[in-house]
Structure 1
Amino acid sequence: MTRPRKDVKFQHRSGSTARARRPSTSISEFSENGSEPGSPTTKNGSIAPPAPVPAQNEYQKKKANFITRTIWSMVMLLGFFWVLGAGHIYIIIIVTAVQVISFKEVIAIANVPSKARSLRFTKSLNWYFLGTAMYFLYGESVIYYFKHILLVDRILLPLATHHRFISFMMYIIGFVFFVYSLQKGHYKFQFTQFAWTHMALFLIVGQAHFVINNIFEGFIWFILPVSMVITNDIWAYLCGITFGRTPLIQISPKKTWEGFLGAWFFTIIWGIGLTHFLAQYKYFICPVNDLGANIWSGLECKPNPVFVARDYTIPFLPAGLPFPRTFNIMPVQFHIFILATFASLVAPFGGFFASGLKRTFKIKDFGDSIPGHGGMTDRMDCQFIMGSISFFYYSSFIAIYHTSVGGVIEAAVTGLTPEEQMEVVKILAKNLVNQDIISPKILEYLSAQLHRR
């Protein structure tokens, strides 16, 4: 009598039978010694154990990460130069995309309890508040810099004159919807998300708004802060690994005083040299008056006096020394010294803040948006705060405030009646006729129109 195969059925202790769960393989697929075709065997014909897959050692991992990081650094650098040449509008689009990605990463690190994941409107409200904040901040910037266009357009005029009220009502709608969506048992989570969203809006969207304003004021006020932060980061690393001995701050144990101060020195040198180069081209120093401009078309303006070199004399310097007492330099270089100091001594604390935030949530990076670099927020944590510092410093010590075409038109459109506006036009036309700039017939036509009304 033939014995049953043990691998076909097996007997449970309870007495029931069941088929063994093994892959269905035909007998012809096995070799004579019972091994599958292609299986490694030893000299005596027995089946050899599968060879272990060699794991990457620490050096190989660091090497692979370094290569990836270098490649993407070059891609981002080349892309940055291309966008600079393409024009201001492309840089604005890039900054907008960066802040949206950073907002998404910061919002995503908050722990979401499993019982709260079924809430339908949490993510929707986050994005709604982001859109509302961007509409308010970007709308303010566009109206400020292009009011001479918006305020003479019949369609855009209501949006420009009532922009703040429209923005506030959009926020109120979101606030009311948030209160309406509160559910019992989820109050703590929902209010935490509400506060977390507003913190992200303040730290990311609010500061990115100032970066965009820097672009409107002139490319140089965007390029300098960005490049000085990058330069400071590179030299802080190089000086730290070369001379670093004294720990700087507990939250970032690898940061040292030697790297901190060494980076300050090299950032100042970089800022002065780059400013000397950029100040020679109006494309970089002129405020934006045409969003369609690029490096080939250029921009035209009367340069800010800080870009006009002046003679300075060093006081209390004894005569007879082997170097001159008087030197010629642009006033902007003194401002660059201060901005480089901010980039070296203040902006890194944006990175320290981000490091503390990551340690709080026990994460290494905010995301993986940039291969080899981590998340977008990991690269922009110092850039946002430096952009804000640059905007407020520029507004306080460098910007020149005078009556602009946009300001005059805004005052006329919003503060004068149509009859008074016509009177202003008539007076301006008369002045242009006296200068032989326009024909007297235009003045006659305007006078006739004014009397007809």
Structure 2
Amino acid sequence: MSKSRRNVRFPHRNNGERRLSVSSDVSDATSEPTSLGKNGNISKQSTIQEEKPPQSEYEKKKQTFITRTIWTFVMIAGFFVCMFSGHIYIIGLVTAIQIISFKEVIAIANVPSREKNLRFTKSLNWYFLASTMYFLYGESVIYYFKHVLLVDKVLLPLATHHRFISFTLYVMGFVFFVGSLQKGHYRFQFTQFAWTHMALYLIVVQAHFVMNNVFEGMIWFFLPASLVITNDIFAYVCGITFGRTQLIQLSPKKTVEGFVGAWICTIIFGFFMTNLLMRSKYFICPVNDLGSNILTGLECVPNPVFVPQPYSLEFLGFDKTFFVEPMQFHILAFATFASLIAPFGGFFASGLKRTFNVKDFGESIPGHGGITDRMDCQFIMGFFSFMYYHSFIAVYRANVGEIIETAINGLTVDEQLEVVRGLGKYLYNQGAVPETILDCLSNELKRR
């Protein structure tokens, strides 16, 4: 009687390989698509997949150039359509840009692995954005449209208490942030808090001043923006033409020759563009009707900066008087800032991207990267334009909104009625209103 062979192993390498190959053949056969033949038999259908060869570096650059060019024209066309359609469309465009830019800047500092354990990190970011925009947009609307808000029964409380409401909204977010702090995540949460406020200051606050420029007149929005774009183009052209000396390490392709050449070209462009824009009241008039567009136009008394002024030139017996619009001198300051200072906004953005080791802020615009990559110089330029305009160009006169605000906030009801009666009597003496209106006002005052 033979003993059973236990715990005896036999080499099955060949057989194992055989089984593996057979099973793989069977699985391949079952995985391949089949089709019915003429006789109803199942026949195997051969499938040959052709692999595309990898794109060469030249093809990649060509495709990127084509995409970038197409979207450049799309952006230019969209910008001019918004600008000629009316101020409200440009305001909407600025709003969309600042929201997307805020999202892109916040995104590059996100740490997804940590955010999974924190419920309200992103919600707080958007809450602070919303409360900041409510405050800034409200300030602008109240400043430019007092004559509308202060006579409306519903909007009046919101206008008079706007700053306290905004402060309350911010404090609610602040308290919620402190209450949401979790042990083990303090450093990350406070870093996010600081990063959010930096983004609000650098993007949302500066975009708010850009929007105010639109209210003051389309020229104060379009001219600074076009100067930055022009300077960027000529910096590239002059740099590749005769650039030799590197300007800054953050942007190795920027050269001193391109920097200076772009400055000169931007001044020349600004001079001719200013001459063109000053001829249209649609560009130089402040907004008094948000429904206006390039076809309806605007009417106003032009700012003295757009009216030719006499300038005398006396030199070595040469005496000549020239008539020049003061804006032609101011454009030198605008073009100089756009050429020598605004590019540092781009350098700042480059340093920020290098810090987080990213090429672009996002992929919002095919071929161009993110919105922030295109707006890095525009924000600081718009901020400068606002400050320069209100410091050296704006003419401050009493307007209807300010007078109404003073009357509502500084006078009692009886004093306000007295002002109304005085104005009614004055308008009657000027022949602007009939006597019946004056009698109605007098009877109403007697009733009180």
Gapped runs of 5+ residues in structure 1? Answer: 12-17, 40-49
| CA drift at 1:22 | 6.8
Counterpart contact for 2:33–2:45, Cα < 8 Å? no
Secondary structure of 1:182 counterpart: coil
Normalised TM-score (structure 1): 0.90
1:338 equivalent to 2:338? Answer: no
| 1:198 counterpart = 2:197 | yes
Secondary structure of 2:315's aligned partner? coil
Deviation at 1:10, TM superposition (A): 4.6
Residue equivalent to 2:8: none
1:268, 1:336 within 8 Å by CA — same for their partners in 2?
Answer: yes
Please name the residue that 1:440 is paired with. 435
* 8 Å Cα contact 1:116/1:186 also seen in 2: no
Gaps spanning 5+ residues in structure 2: where? 1-13, 36-43
Alpha-carbon shift at residue 415 of structure 1 (Å): 1.2
Q: How does 1:9-88 map to 2 (within 5 A)?
A: 9-10=19-20, 23-26=27-30, 37=46, 39=48, 53-88=52-87
Q: Show the counterpart of 2:41.
A: none
Letter in 1 for 2:29: T
What is the aligned length?
426
Distance 1:162 1:28 in 2: 72
Cross-structure match for 2:410: 415
* Alignment-derived partner of residue 126 in structure 1: 125
Please say if residues 72 and 370 of structure 1, whose CA atoms lie closer than 8 Å, have aligned partners that are also in contact.
yes
The alpha-carbon deviation at position 332 of structure 1 amounts to 0.5
Residue of 356, 369, 372 corresponding to 2:367: 372
Whether the 8 Å contact between 1:268 and 1:340 is mirrored in structure 2 is yes
C-alpha spacing 1:271/1:183, structure 2 compared with 1 (3 Å)? same
In the TM superposition, 1:349-428 aligns within 5 A as 349-428=344-423
Q: Which structure: greater helix fraction? A: 2
Q: Give the secondary structure class of the aligned counterpart of 2:171.
A: helix
Deviations 1:385-435 (A, max 9, x none): 000000000000000011110000000011111111110000000001111
**CA-to-aligned-CA distance 1:324-377 (integer Å, 9 cap, x gap):** 843322100100110000000000000000000000000000000001100000
The whole-number CA distance in structure 2 between the counterparts of 1:366 and 1:318 is: 60
- Partners of 2:180 and 2:58 lie apart in 1 by 52
What whole-Å deviation, never above 9, does each CA across 1:231-283 have from its counterpart, x for those lacking one? 00000000001010111111111111100011001111111111111111111
2:224 aligned partner? 225
Distance, in Å, in 2 between the alignment partners of 1:330 and 1:228 is 19
| C-alpha contact 1:132 1:171 (8 A) present in aligned 2 | yes
Distance 2:285 2:422 in 1: 31
1:84 alignment partner AA: M
Alignment partners' CA distance in 2, 1:289 and 1:427: 27
Deviations 1:118-156 (A, max 9, x none): 311000000000000000000000000000110000000
Residue 172 (structure 1) aligns with: 171
Where does residue 235 of structure 1 map in the other structure? 234
Distance change (3 Å), C-alpha of 1:168 and 1:256? same
Q: 1:433 to 1:117 in 2, by over 3 A?
A: same
Matched, 1:103 2:78: no
Cα RMSD (Å): 2.2
Distance 2:278 2:166 in 1: 38
Runs of 4+ displaced beyond 6 Å:
4-8, 27-30
The corresponding residue for 1:431 is 426
Question: What CA distance in whole angstroms lies between the structure 2 residues aligned with 1:317 and 1:287?
Answer: 43
Taking the aligned partners of 2:243 and 2:255, their CA distance within structure 1 comes to 5
Does the residue aligned with 1:90 lie in a helix, a strand or coil? helix
Kept in 2: contact 1:7–1:20 (CA 8 A) = no
User: For residues 304-335 of structure 1, what are the alpha-carbon distances to aligned partners after superposition, in whole Å with 9 as ceiling and x for unaligned?
Assistant: 0000012322342553xxxx843322100100
- Name the CA distance, whole Å, in 2 between partners of 1:340 and 1:94: 24
- Which of residues 320, 326, 343 is equivalent to 2:321? 326
Shift of 1:54: 2.2
2:62 alignment partner, SS class: helix
3-state SS of 1:172 partner: helix
Q: C-alpha displacement at 1:21, in angstroms?
A: 9.2
Q: Which residue of 2 aligns with 1:279?
A: 278
Q: 1:127 to 1:317 in 2, by over 3 A?
A: farther
The alignment's TM-score, normalised by the length of structure 2, stands at 0.91
SS of the aligned residue for 2:182 comes to: coil
